């Protein structure tokens, strides 16, 4: 409530304006115990319209999640597939909601955390910095690669990697460049699916 009152609605804002709140948050996160979860649990984080629902449906091989322009996910939803349980995390503009013990325990209990971005790491760097601060590993999925002109793709991928390094993200595992809408177009898709199945 105090953070909301100060209009600190993201981890980056807290980091910049309230060092004490940041330390308290990290201490709370260290105390939070992972929720025990059965099976291979993978969460997808991403701002509204980064294609999370399309990604979920493509990974599951059937249309289970609602897709569309604008906000289609209002609360955390889970979808069971043959090889994994996928969790759709709402693309909130107010990130502070994720900074509760309940959410942190949930994040800790997951097998993998996928952060979806579309054109720049900055879209979701705040949640990545938060996961870095609480020492939770995550993978980055650059979606909608079909929208990048073919001759610009190599340079675009290079730019994304440079950004990761420039921002200084610490807990990044793999980086995949895909199109959830046209999975077969990009070899990283099969690579990603294989990676997600093994845990």
43, with CB counted inside 10 A (0-12, 13-18, 19+), is: buried
**pLDDT at residue 74, as a whole number:** 44
Task: Quickly state the pLDDT bin for 71 (edges 50, 70, 90).
Answer: very low
> Are 58 and 196 spatial neighbours (Cβ–Cβ below 8 Å)?
no
What is the rounded CA–CA span in Å between residue 19 and residue 22?
5
Mean pLDDT of 162-180: 97
Look at 38-42, 45-49, 132-136, 190-194 and tell me which has the smallest mean pLDDT.
45-49
CB atoms closer than 10 angstroms to residue 154:
10
- What architecture is domain 11-197? 3-Layer(aba) Sandwich (3.40)
Task: Quickly state the pLDDT bin for 72 (edges 50, 70, 90).
Answer: very low
3-state DSSP call for residue 5? helix
Mean pLDDT of 75-91: 86
Task: Quickly state the pLDDT bin for 4 (edges 50, 70, 90).
Answer: low
pLDDT at 190 over 90: yes
pLDDT at 189 over 60: yes
143, with CB counted inside 10 A (0-12, 13-18, 19+), is: buried
Per the prediction, the chain carries an average pLDDT of 87
Look at 20-29, 132-141, 144-153, 170-179 and tell me which has the smallest mean pLDDT.
20-29
Q: What is the pLDDT of residues 97-142, one digit of tens each?
A: 677 788 889 999 999 999 999 999 998 888 899 899 889 999 999 9
pLDDT at 26 over 60: yes
Q: What is the pLDDT of residues 147-156, one digit of tens each?
A: 999 999 999 9
CB atoms closer than 10 angstroms to residue 18:
16
Q: What percent of the chain has pLDDT over 90?
A: 55
């Amino acid at each position: 409530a105090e953070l909301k009152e100060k209009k600190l609605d993201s981890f980056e804002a807290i980091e910049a304006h309230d060092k004490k709140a940041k330390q308290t948050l990290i201490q709370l996160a260290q105390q939070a115990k992972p929720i025990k979860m059965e099976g291979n649990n993978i969460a997808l984080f991403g701002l509204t319209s980064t294609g999370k629902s399309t990604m979920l449906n493509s990974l599951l091989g059937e249309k289970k999640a609602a897709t569309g322009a604008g906000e289609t996910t209002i609360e955390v939803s889970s979808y069971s597939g043959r090889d994994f349980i996928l969790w759709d995390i709402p693309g909130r503009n107010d990130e502070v909601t994720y900074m509760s013990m309940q959410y942190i325990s949930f994040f800790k209990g997951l097998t993998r955390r996928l952060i979806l971005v579309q054109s720049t790491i900055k879209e979701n760097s705040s949640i990545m910095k938060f996961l870095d601060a609480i020492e939770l590993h995550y993978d980055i999925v650059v979606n909608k690669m079909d929208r990048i002109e073919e001759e610009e793709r190599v340079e675009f991928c290079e730019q994304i990697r440079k950004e990761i390094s420039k921002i200084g993200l610490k807990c990044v595992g793999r980086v995949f460049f895909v199109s959830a809408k046209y999975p077969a177009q990009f070899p990283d898709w099969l690579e990603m699916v294989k990676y997600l199945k093994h845990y």
